[in-house]
Structure 1
Amino acid sequence: YEVAVIDEIQMIRDPSRGWAWTRALLGLCAEEIHVCGEPAAVDFIRELMYTTGEEVEVHNYERLTPFSVLNHAVESLDNLRPGDCIVCFSKNDIYSISRQIEARGLECSVIYGSLPPGTKLSQAKKFNDPDDPCKILVATDAIGMGLNLSIKRIIFNSIVKPNINEKGEKQMETISTSQALQIAGRAGRFSSVFKEGEVTTMHREDLPILKEILSRSVDPIKTAGLHPTAEQIEMFAYHLPDATLSNLVDIFVSLSQVDGMYFVCNIDDFKFLADMIQHIPLNLRSRYVFCTAPINKKQPFVCTSFLKFARQFSRDEPLTFNWVCRHIGWPVAAPKNIKDLVHLEAVHDVLDLYLWLSYRFMDMFPDTASIREIQRELDDVIQTGVRNITRLIRATDPNITDPLQTQGNSLDQAGNSRKDTGSTFLTKVRGQRGPGGRIDSSLASRLVRDGLLTPDLLKQLQREWSQSSSRSALLSEKTNKNSKGKKKKK
């Protein structure tokens, strides 16, 4: 290429995906590479390019419109104004808040990470249109990258989000300065009708913490992510012919020594896929490529499709358009509830997986044009579902009839996620236990039916809660006995 552009270069330090930016930066064959991103990356990129003998020019650009942090929190959805964007870090909060907003007679757009790009753009266009009655946006941090939005005020519904630590474990963390600035920077963009942006929080107690986060300087980037290449793994496999791909990668990482400019990225997702297709007869290079596929391992349908793709590939049978349509059940019906919408998002991810693999195995994934066509049609179906998201939420949880009564103006339920985003589901289950700590049967059957719990997991939870209740009862009994003993002595 004559010119290449790499955006969001600060992602080079991402513990899971940083290796992709490192490979792009060091591997691109271009006369000139334009790198865009945070100032925190400048010194590191300059140093990295020095080791390869490249010439580096730095151009600093000033933000054309300022934003300010307000001195008061919003506190209630009744205080929303046109141009507001409420940022959540949980899909449950997205659903809850969007429903409460529409219950107040207001329209809102919804944007979150697992939506197809076309749907995100459609929702952004709806929000940006001055003639559209939709003046409020509810979104995750997905708005931080790749979307132009006419936002006046960013409202953080929470300042903690789920994160993956170095061990690959999920934990709740306060958002970093980098993340906070990325999101806050969406307020008052130069191209929007709002020439000055505002930033605040939904909850009063979060505001001083957010101010402190935004006042810090962003930590400079010091290392870039790496991932074992196919060639390196093949070399290991030559000396360890009986080792599985998962074992090979584990051994490679444990023996790797990197200098101070690099770190080895978390390989748990790679190993997860490697273990999933270990029983399928594939050559090592193909197996490696399959395991670097960017899929959401939390989606059962996506994982099942990945497995079927690998199995069909191993038989040397091309994955045709008709084969894919049979697998995904095309044509699809419009979503009737949130579960249907989530499934359609997973189907879209499966079509993305097909296209990703088609770039690497063109002869085995030949029908890219047809797949793109049905993906566009699917995007339209998902867009319709998202436009009617509050109706889908009501269909998913028919027990809730009046969000204003059940949720309240104080956003108590949505606020629970500030301390433990993602705990909404467990809180809901714990709140409906029957005698002996067992889950209420109607709730349990609904959770199993909807695929939110497996029967085995349900039994395990019931055992744990039963044991917990027994321990509590014993402790209470001992306390009562001790209390009676003290009274007798007196």
Structure 2
Amino acid sequence: MTSEFPDRAAPALLALDAAIASSGLHVENRERPKLERVIARMLQPGADRIDDAAFRAAICTVRRKPWGSRLMDLTRRAGQVWVTRADTEAAAITVDDPEPDDARLLAALAPVVQARLRAQGDTPRAAVDNIRADLFDGTGRVLSPGELGTLARAVADAFALADMDTFATDLEREESSRKDRDAKIEDTARARRREEVQRLRAWEKSLVPFSDVPGLLRCSQREALRWIAENRLPVARRVPQSNGQERWEFDPAELMALRQQIPEWRRDGTDSTSRAPIAPDLGNRRVGNAVIAQVAALDRYAAHFRTARALNRRITLVTGPTNSGKSHTALDALAQAESGLALAPLRLLAHEFRESLMARGVPTSLATGEERIDMPGSRHLAATVEMCPLNNPVDVAIIDEAQMLTDPDRGAAWTAAIMGAPARHLFVLGAPDCIPMVKRIAELCGDPVDEIRLERKSPLVAAERAVSLHELQKHDALIAFSRREVLDLRAMLLAHGKRVAVVYGALSPEVRRAEAQRFNNGDADILIATDAIGMGLNLTIRRVVFAALRKYDGNQTRDLNPQEVKQIGGRAGRFGKHEQGVVAVLEGVGSPSFIHAMLAAPPQPIEDMRPQVQPDADIVQAVATEIGSDSLFGVLVRIRRAVLRRDDPNYRLANMEQAFAIATALEGVADLTLAQRWVYAMCPVDDRDNGIQRLVHWAADHAAGNSVAPPGTGPLPAPERAERTELERAEKRHKRLVAWRWLALRFPEAYVNREEAEATTARLNDWIEDVLRQQSIRARTPRTSPFSPDRRSSPPGRRNRDAAPGGKRPPRKRR
């Protein structure tokens, strides 16, 4: 018996029994408790009877959830995988028959599904494409030709298309052809990869140990060792041994080709130890790793940038914490130069550099991965680091955020930019942590370095105690480390009347800037952000509050390090707006002493001082020519094995896992040149969003001579009604548009309709911005208020109250 309405429980029981007897409707025992509660709410005070219509309505209320599940089962059996739980629940609400059969339920579902299908696109084809994209995004589901035909007929019916069979048949045929193409691509890719691996293994099996070298060259062991030390005899492969030493292996074909040079080496003695041997012409013979390394020349990477090396470059290293005026110092020098270059880590910052120069009266063009703004007559360019032009000398260049040199994903781009920026005077800006690495790069380039060290313009202090959620004030920034946690915190604060702006990595630069503007203008009281605020974005933050002291870095969940706390916490206390910046931690997350320690910590020593490098298009082509292969997979395999020894004293190969994965997937796409494959391998896609698979489909269309249509927005509900899943879908579509526009700048003949893509991007940005601005967005509020002093639930990222300073839980005792 329910206790929710104790004064109505007995009348509800009597009313239920009477209604069952009167109506003749069958009620399961498991339904009775729910029906009693519904009837209790319906009864007027003092009444113990309800009429037949009310009883039927009560039964319908109780049975709607099971009807929704029944409809899901019926549609799945019929192959209608695009029907959603929300569709079936909306249909169940309209059913007023307490005992409907399957036909009645499906009849209620039909208009709901038809309305949603019509909302999926302006045309039947667009609707089908958007539904397929949503299924692929949400579950990775790819429709079979039969399922696609069923969907096509449903869409055609919703749009009242006259010839639905032709529409469906055409799509089925197209899907069958696409599946055949995908299967062929995969089969071809597998065969080509196998061929490249077999070729490499055959070469490895042909290698001989060092003990065979004197016999092959007809020399003494001592001579062979000396020639190896003089870099005359190439070691084809170095195999690490369990005792810490290496086993050297040699390619007999390479050795035999060098035998004719031995008399000259003996005459030279040790006079030419610094001169590397010229790679022999081996014709069609196997090419060894040492030759590949020499061709790639990544061990002499600085020399690859000929224009920069031809200049008499001078480097000024400007370091300091956040809010110390590094950019202002360098921009003043850049604005006074006849020509210049400003390189930023983010597209948003490249725009800010351009705006700063324009405000100083300097016409400036823009180049980022997916956009170009050409100013006629301009001799200044603002660009992202990866877009650094290497062949046009300028007077002054700026490279910002040099601490990114150690970033595992993008560090190689900073190496290339600092080594290759063709500027007579190069300003390198960064946190103090970057000083040793920048000096090492300057040494490898032979460039002199002078330093400017700046201090913060306003003090930065650590709060003495933790901050609870209800104590957050205007101009506070709350920092989490995942999109989910940011939106959970936002929902909590919105539910309690706070005005909130958000910034996280999945948002476009335009939306991030708009959200920052809302916060700066006072239209939002509190900013909730990830570490995406650590670079760029001028923010008037008074206090930074960490909602987590641990983050997932792509490999593991770990404590924040001093540089991260300083970079993010340093956003507090903007000069001219607040007298000081305060850095705090959210109550229950960890100890304030952790913040104190991180802010006071000296710069962390860099574990590996060798700058990261990776090949470019020229190097890829040179290696391909040397090994006689047009396989990007084969080229990258050889580069990974050959170009840099693990113990190379100067450089280390960057993480190229995504480029390698794309190259592997593209092996089966015919009619793409090696250069085109390399461009695709550099495309910014998110594999968590099936990005590589989508990229292969685009590349296959490109190779077949077909145009690649830009992604659409999909259905966009009214912003005030948008759910979190719809917001996430829009963010994913925006990322796809970024990749599409990036490719459109490089392959305009295949990626047409750039104007349409830019309009779609703007439409998505506006919609996302509107959704985030809506204070009435329906957000789930935790059952227990986070502002309640005796709450038991924890905010996102919250740990045990007895957590260690770094946010770690104390170790559990063994039972």
Smaller-chain TM-score bracket? 0.7 to 0.9
TM-aligned CA deviation for residue 315 of structure 1? 1.8
TM-aligned CA deviation for residue 242 of structure 1? 6.3
Q: Distance in 2 between matches of 1:373 and 1:40?
A: 41
| Contact 1:98–1:390 (CA under 8 A) maintained in structure 2 | no
Cα deviations by residue, 1:55-100 (Å, 9 ceiling, x for unpaired)? 33322222111110011001x2111111111100122211211111
Taking structure 1 as reference, are residues 338 and 330 closer, same or farther at Cα in structure 2, changes over 3 Å only? Answer: closer
TM-aligned CA deviation for residue 172 of structure 1? 0.6
Alignment of 1:137-176 (within 5 A): 137-164=527-554, 170-176=555-561
| Contact 1:103–1:403 (CA under 8 A) maintained in structure 2 | no
Residue 31 of structure 1 aligns to a residue in which SS?
Answer: strand
TM-aligned CA deviation for residue 50 of structure 1? 2.9
TM-aligned CA deviation for residue 366 of structure 1? 4.7
Alignment of 1:209-358 (within 5 A): 209-221=594-606, 222-238=609-625, 240=627, 244-255=631-642, 256-257=644-645, 259-281=648-670, 282-300=672-690, 302-319=691-708, 323-324=709-710, 327-328=711-712, 332-334=716-718, 336-358=722-744
1:85 to 477, 491, 512: 477
Q: Distance in 2 between matches of 1:401 and 1:9?
A: 42
| Contact 1:95–1:390 (CA under 8 A) maintained in structure 2 | no
Residue 418 of structure 2 aligns to a residue in which SS?
Answer: helix
Q: Distance in 2 between matches of 1:344 and 1:223?
A: 40
| Contact 1:15–1:266 (CA under 8 A) maintained in structure 2 | yes
The residue aligned with 1:374 is 760
Residue 750 of structure 2 aligns to a residue in which SS?
Answer: coil
Q: Distance in 2 between matches of 1:197 and 1:227?
A: 39
Residue 54 of structure 1 aligns to a residue in which SS?
Answer: coil
Cα deviations by residue, 1:165-203 (Å, 9 ceiling, x for unpaired)? xxxxx2111111111110010000114x22211011113
TM-aligned CA deviation for residue 244 of structure 1? 4.9
TM-aligned CA deviation for residue 307 of structure 1? 2.7
2:431 is equivalent to residue 38 of structure 1: yes
Instruction: Count how many residue pairs are aligned between Structure 1 and Structure 2.
Output: 400
Q: Distance in 2 between matches of 1:231 and 1:264?
A: 17
Alignment of 1:61-210 (within 5 A): 61-74=454-467, 76-130=468-522, 132=523, 134-164=524-554, 170-191=555-576, 193-204=577-588, 205-210=590-595
Q: Distance in 1 between matches of 2:454 and 2:476?
A: 26
Taking structure 1 as reference, are residues 344 and 372 closer, same or farther at Cα in structure 2, changes over 3 Å only? Answer: same
Q: Unpaired segments of 5 or more residues in structure 1?
A: 165-169, 395-399, 420-490
Q: CA RMSD in A?
A: 2.8
2:410 is equivalent to residue 17 of structure 1: yes
Residue 109 of structure 1 aligns to a residue in which SS?
Answer: strand
TM-aligned CA deviation for residue 265 of structure 1? 1.5
Tell me which amino acid in the other structure corresponds to 1:138.
Answer: I
Deviates more, 1:309-318 or 1:284-293: 309-318
Tell me which amino acid in the other structure corresponds to 1:145.
Answer: M
Q: Distance in 2 between matches of 1:361 and 1:25?
A: 28
Q: Distance in 2 between matches of 1:71 and 1:403?
A: 28
| Contact 1:100–1:403 (CA under 8 A) maintained in structure 2 | no
Q: Unpaired segments of 5 or more residues in structure 2?
A: 1-393, 804-815
Residue 51 of structure 1 aligns to a residue in which SS?
Answer: helix
Taking structure 1 as reference, are residues 360 and 220 closer, same or farther at Cα in structure 2, changes over 3 Å only? Answer: farther
Q: Distance in 2 between matches of 1:78 and 1:185?
A: 23
Q: Distance in 1 between matches of 2:423 and 2:700?
A: 37
TM-aligned CA deviation for residue 153 of structure 1? 0.8
Deviates more, 1:105-114 or 1:45-54: 45-54
| Contact 2:492–2:786 (CA under 8 A) maintained in structure 1 | no
2:796 is equivalent to residue 414 of structure 1: yes
Taking structure 1 as reference, are residues 314 and 393 closer, same or farther at Cα in structure 2, changes over 3 Å only? Answer: farther
Deviates more, 1:139-148 or 1:272-281: 272-281
Q: Distance in 2 between matches of 1:53 and 1:405?
A: 58
TM-aligned CA deviation for residue 386 of structure 1? 1.9
The residue aligned with 2:774 is 388
TM-aligned CA deviation for residue 121 of structure 1? 0.8
Greater RCO, 1 or 2 (C-alpha within 8 Å, sep 6+): 1
| Contact 1:97–1:414 (CA under 8 A) maintained in structure 2 | yes
TM-aligned CA deviation for residue 12 of structure 1? 1.1
Q: Distance in 1 between matches of 2:666 and 2:550?
A: 35
Consecutive aligned runs of 4 or more in structure 1 exceeding 6 Å deviation? 405-408
Taking structure 1 as reference, are residues 377 and 260 closer, same or farther at Cα in structure 2, changes over 3 Å only? Answer: same
TM-aligned CA deviation for residue 309 of structure 1? 2.2
- TM-score for the superposition, normalised by structure 1: 0.74
TM-aligned CA deviation for residue 36 of structure 1? 1.1
Alignment of 1:411-450 (within 5 A): 412-416=794-798
Residue 453 of structure 2 aligns to a residue in which SS?
Answer: coil
Tell me which amino acid in the other structure corresponds to 2:684.
Answer: P
Q: Distance in 1 between matches of 2:783 and 2:583?
A: 30
Residue 72 of structure 1 aligns to a residue in which SS?
Answer: coil
Taking structure 1 as reference, are residues 197 and 410 closer, same or farther at Cα in structure 2, changes over 3 Å only? Answer: farther
Q: Distance in 2 between matches of 1:260 and 1:93?
A: 42
Q: Distance in 2 between matches of 1:99 and 1:143?
A: 20
Identity %: 27
Tell me which amino acid in the other structure corresponds to 1:139.
Answer: A
- TM-score for the superposition, normalised by structure 2: 0.46
Residue 294 of structure 1 aligns to a residue in which SS?
Answer: coil
Residue 59 of structure 1 aligns to a residue in which SS?
Answer: strand
The residue aligned with 2:449 is 56
Taking structure 1 as reference, are residues 44 and 386 closer, same or farther at Cα in structure 2, changes over 3 Å only? Answer: same
TM-aligned CA deviation for residue 331 of structure 1? 7.4
Taking structure 1 as reference, are residues 31 and 331 closer, same or farther at Cα in structure 2, changes over 3 Å only? Answer: farther
| Contact 1:93–1:414 (CA under 8 A) maintained in structure 2 | yes
TM-aligned CA deviation for residue 238 of structure 1? 3.9
Q: Distance in 2 between matches of 1:116 and 1:389?
A: 20
Q: Distance in 2 between matches of 1:390 and 1:304?
A: 38
TM-aligned CA deviation for residue 368 of structure 1? 3.4
TM-aligned CA deviation for residue 261 of structure 1? 3.7
Cα deviations by residue, 1:290-318 (Å, 9 ceiling, x for unpaired)? 11112221113x44542332122212334
